[in-house]
Amino acid sequence: MTVENVTAHGLVTARARLSDAIAVKQAMLDDGVLEQAVAIAHVVVAALRAGNKIMFFGNGGSSMDAGHLAAELTGRFAYDRPGLAAFSLSDSTAAVTAIGNDYSYAEVFARQVLGLGRPGDVAFGLSTSGSSANVVRGLQAARRAGMVTVALTGADGRQCLAVADHCIRVPSSNTARVQEACLHVGHTICELVEAGMFPRSP
Ligand SMILES: O=C(CO)[C@@H](O)[C@H](O)[C@H](O)[C@H](O)COP(=O)(O)O
């Protein structure tokens, strides 16, 4: 195969991927995902106003999205305002490696949740498969601790759904598409939370 053929094939494939991503986002518009995101943003605003905090966790690409979304709240999303109480449990390399090494990888989020979480806090578990044991156990621990539990997953998010007060299942089972869609949902929630906490005059 020539370089030109590889490039042509790559372009065809890339177009198909982009079409798929658009179809997923269109299905989200039709599936009530935004209505769920608004409801979750209300929950987060209520928690922050009551002095509670927001924690995110996930594996792999979702671990980076967990840190990204926490930073949208502690830093800023669209405009300057005070920082909000949010952090990612995936960001602590020391905690994740110590708990994973000394207990088990399934406990890396649950143990942090139980140590850091207080009733009324909000825990966001991100899992494209919806079945990663450490994310499911993290949400279970949060629920036991009296926290509000939120899951962002792909279409087959049943295990997270069972332990989440709010579960947005984006309509795809492709890991990359689900990550992109969950990040979009996360951005939407952060934007709504920022506007809810610090309204700007029109
Ligand atoms: O980012 C990617 C591939 O797109 C991977 O690293 C992916 O995040 C990992 O396979 C994760 O372990 C998947 O876990 P989960 O999202 O199903 O909970």
Residue 140: inside a domain, yes or no?
Answer: yes
Q: pTM, whole model, 2 decimals?
A: 0.95
**CB proximity list for 74: less than 8 A, separation 6 or greater:** 83, 84, 85, 86, 87
User: Which domain CATH number covers 77?
Assistant: 3.40.50.10490
Residue 175: inside a domain, yes or no?
Answer: yes
Residue 160: inside a domain, yes or no?
Answer: yes
Smallest CA separation from ligand 1 atom 5, residue? 60
Number of folded domains in the chain? 1
pLDDT tens by residue, 5-31: 778 889 999 999 999 999 999 999 999
Helices within the chain (DSSP H only)? 3-30, 33-49, 61-74, 93-102, 110-116, 133-144, 158-161, 175-197
Residue 132: inside a domain, yes or no?
Answer: yes
pLDDT tens by residue, 36-86: 999 999 999 999 999 999 999 999 999 999 999 999 999 999 999 999 999
156 lines ligand 1 (CB under 6 A): no
Q: Which atom of ligand 1 is found nearest the CA of 135?
A: 18
Q: Which atom of ligand 1 is found nearest the CA of 61?
A: 1
Q: How far is CA 83 from CA 72, 79, 99, 118, 172, in A?
A: 9, 11, 29, 20, 33
pLDDT tens by residue, 120-171: 999 999 999 999 999 999 999 999 999 999 999 999 999 999 999 999 999 9
Dist. CA 147–CA 64, nearest whole Å: 23
Residue 202: inside a domain, yes or no?
Answer: no
170 lines ligand 1 (CB under 6 A): no
Residue 174: inside a domain, yes or no?
Answer: yes
Smallest CA separation from ligand 1 atom 14, residue? 59
Look up the domain containing 68 and give its range: 3-197
The ipTM estimated for the assembled molecules is 0.96
